[in-house]
């Protein structure tokens, strides 16, 4: 799994590609998210449009990012969630936790001002 980060409209967009599954690549994205929060990121969009598969550890990274941001008064949104990932979020009852949008731009517009 690879990932990119970019700043856009006062937020950081994290775009993983491939499989968000247990392993060293997943650890790298988890560490990068922690680093971003430690450096002051308060708004984050996880663009999941190019994530093929996600296991419980991948879901754990999303939950950890959400929790870290919330702990410092920040917010996280999901964007372009694939049907497989959306089903996983529904099955795990995390639809009440994550706000999900059809596009990154839509997610960015829906942060509280």
CA quadruple 93, 67, 4, 47: dihedral sign: positive
> By the 8 A CB rule, do 101 and 77 touch?
yes
What's residue 6's pLDDT?
96
> By the 8 A CB rule, do 91 and 85 touch?
no
Ramachandran angles phi, psi of 75, nearest 5°:
-140, 150
pLDDT at 14 over 70: yes
pLDDT at 43 over 80: yes
pLDDT at 112 over 90: no
> By the 8 A CB rule, do 77 and 99 touch?
yes
- Helix, strand, or coil here: 19? strand
Domains and CATH numbers, the chain: 2-109 (3.30.750.24)
């Amino acid at each position: 799994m690879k990932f990119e980060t970019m700043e856009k409209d006062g937020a950081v967009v994290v775009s993983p590609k491939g499989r968000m599954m247990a392993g060293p690549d997943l650890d790298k994205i988890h560490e990068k998210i922690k680093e971003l929060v430690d450096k002051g990121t308060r708004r984050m969009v996880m663009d999941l449009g190019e994530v093929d598969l996600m296991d419980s550890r991948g879901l754990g990274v999303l939950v950890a990012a959400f929790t870290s941001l919330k702990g410092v008064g920040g917010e996280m949104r999901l964007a372009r969630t694939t049907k497989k990932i959306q089903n996983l979020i529904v099955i795990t009852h995390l639809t009440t936790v994550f706000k999900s949008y059809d596009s990154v731009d839509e997610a960015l517009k829906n942060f509280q001002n």
